[in-house]
Structure 1
Amino acid sequence: MFTRIVKMKFEPKHIPQFLYNFEEVKQKIRNFEGCEFLELYRDQNDDTIFFTYSRWNEVSSLEKYRNSDLFRGIWKTTKAMFTAKPEAWSVDTLEQLS
């Protein structure tokens, strides 16, 4: 299992639409085969920066999602709202404390 982190910076005028769109698709993303966890975060110092954290069973599951019609539709809509190129990382958990 690994975590995918995506950082996105939006034009302020597009933030309400982004949040609305996320509300509409979040369950579809979370229920995509191989996705075990999904959260959306907002930066405390810059309210135009958002992060998604999603946890995936396997790299192939994330790739299947990234090649799906669901992702293509979401990304086409979302990327038009960016003010900066998004950044993404795939990271493995080394330690977890609860």
Structure 2
Amino acid sequence: MFVRIVKMQFREDAVKTFLSNFENVRQDIRNAPGCRLLELYRDKDNPQVFFTYSYWENEAYLEAYRTSKLFTDTWAITKPLFAQKAEAWSVDKLVSLG
């Protein structure tokens, strides 16, 4: 299992649109094959900065999602809202303490 972290900074006037769209698609993203967890975080100091954390069984599932209609449709709405280019990392979870 690995984690995909995406940092997104939106224009101030676009935050509500992003949140509304995320509300509409979050269950579909979470239910994508191979997705085990989806979380959305908002920066405490800059309310225009968000992070998504998604946990995937393996990279093939993430790549299948990234080429899906769900992703392309969601990204077509999300990308024009950015104040700056999104950043993304794929990381292996080494330790988790509950």
TM-score exceeds 0.5: yes
Q: Is 1:14 equivalent to 2:10 in the alignment?
A: no
Q: Is 1:68 equivalent to 2:68 in the alignment?
A: yes
1:38 corresponds to which residue? Answer: 38
Structure 1 runs of 4+ with >2 Å offset: none
Q: CA deviation at 1:15?
A: 0.5
Structure 1: gaps spanning 5 or more residues: none
Q: Distance in 1 between matches of 2:72 and 2:97?
A: 35
- What is the TM-score of this pair, normalised by structure 1? 0.99
- What is the TM-score of this pair, normalised by structure 2? 0.99
Q: Distance in 1 between matches of 2:35 and 2:76?
A: 21
Q: CA deviation at 1:59?
A: 0.1
Q: CA deviation at 1:96?
A: 1.0
2:77 is matched by which residue type in structure 1?
Answer: T
2:48 is matched by which residue type in structure 1?
Answer: T
Q: CA deviation at 1:84?
A: 0.4
Q: CA RMSD in A?
A: 0.4
- Percent same amino acid at aligned positions? 53
Q: Distance in 1 between matches of 2:86 and 2:38?
A: 18
- Flag the structure with higher strand content: 2
Q: CA deviation at 1:18?
A: 0.5
2:94 corresponds to which residue? Answer: 94
User: What do residues 50-84 of structure 1 show as CA deviations (whole Å, max 9, x unaligned)?
Assistant: 00000000100000000001000000110000010
User: What do residues 3-37 of structure 1 show as CA deviations (whole Å, max 9, x unaligned)?
Assistant: 00000000011101100000000000000000000
Q: Distance in 1 between matches of 2:26 and 2:86?
A: 19
Structure 2: gaps spanning 5 or more residues: none
What is the aligned length? 98
Q: Distance in 1 between matches of 2:4 and 2:82?
A: 19
